[in-house]
Amino acid sequence: MTTAPLGELLPSLRELYVDLHRHPELSFAEHRTAAELARRLGEAGYEVHTGIGRTGVLGVLRNGDGPAVMLRADIDALPVEEKTGLDYASRAHGTGADGTEVPVMHACGHDMHATWLSGAADLLARARKSWRGTLLVVFQPGEEQGSGAKGMLEDGLFDIAGTPSVVLGQHVVPGPAGWVLTRPGVIMAATDALRIVLHGRGGHGSRPETTVDPAVMAASVVLRLQTIVSREISATESAVVTVGQLHVGTASNIIADEAVLEVNVRTFDEQVRDKVLAAIERIVHAEAAAAGAPEQPEITSIASFPVTTNDDATTERLTTVFRTHFGADRVIEAPLVTGSEDFSEFGRVAGVPSVFWLVGGLDPEQVLTAIAAGRFERDVPSNHSPLFAPVLDPTLATGVETLVTAALTFLSAA
């Protein structure tokens, strides 16, 4: 269904990918990235809007009467020091959330996502004689913070572009390059990130009887939180509760005034999510009361991602089309992914079907050998790893083809 010469475009797309990989930018600081992507959309004939949700880019291509199809890619990078050894590895630095300088890397593959969508937008513009309708090309900032999609929507994305008929997106994963993975219904988990402050009463380490020790309180909270999944969630359901940060004290002989924890929760079901969050609140308040804390603990949400749920019928339709295009051996069912995305916000707000699928991006021999040896988790770098680096071929071509094929599935034929 690709009606324009992808092969001719691939050298330019490789250059774009390498450029984006070398110059990653953190969430909502994607100024250089956004400018380059906007420039390419303009050259392809799109009506271009920038600065949506701070650094988001929208391209609109109106091509007669027909459905409106939205294609989305995220563009932000992570505060990770790259260790891939590539000759185009990132040496960039940026300012982290706490104001300190941090290394920056496209460790989640958003540079690949942006390149895919730029290539698909170009091909679809060249092939406009073969379809009718409207294309909405969205380059979204701030996905890693879980607020980029909401930011673009609150900034009037659909007021500018109109409401799409369907929303489509994809993500590179550590699967064999050239594979496409789809799944109807829930495909990615919801995430809740919480900041917990436990208030104690500080004092000298030699006189603990005059204090309320937040270190002991925090230790009790950490241990008790582990019982939520093991003792409160059914074996037929799933959840993950991780204490990722715990900060308390400044010296060995000082009992601090407070302890700060950051907790990450992953769930696939809204009722389970509510149960886990309620359990965290109950446990934190109970441990504070048991310790005689002078103040109530504070529990603050610092990030929240919804469950990514694919429309069943639309996913089945796309899966059939992908199998026809790529062959049944390259299109398989995706597993449930405990990672999270804010992609589904677009379809939810628009009130239309959305589909999110996965595209393999690593050397097939490496991946399949590791799986056969039972060493996949050890030997294959995952997204967010400083070693994560998709191979360019056939990853680039596959991701462009999936987007073009998917868009043409829903646009009207000319």
Catalytic residue list: 76, 143
199 is in an annotated binding site: no
Give the whole-angstrom CA distance, residue 69 versus residue 100: 40
Residue 149: closest CA among 31, 40, 308: 308
Q: How far is CA 390 from CA 17, 18, 91, 362, 385, in A?
A: 11, 11, 18, 5, 12
Token look-up 């600065």 returns 51
384 is in an annotated binding site: yes
DSSP-assigned states of every residue in 110-169? HHHHHHHHHHHHHHHHHTGGGEEEEEEEEEE--GGGT-HHHHHHHTTHHHHH---SEEEE
What is the Cα Rg of the chain in Å? 23
Helix (H, G, I), strand (E, B) or coil at 189: coil
Give the whole-angstrom CA distance, residue 212 versus residue 259: 11
Annotate 135-174 with b (16+ C-beta within 10 A) or e (fewer).
Answer: bbbbbbbbbbbbbbbbbbbeeebbeebeebbbbbbbbbbb
47 is in an annotated binding site: no
144 is in an annotated binding site: yes
Known binding-site residues for Mn(2+) equal 108, 110, 144, 171, 384
Residues that constitute the known binding site: 108, 110, 144, 171, 384
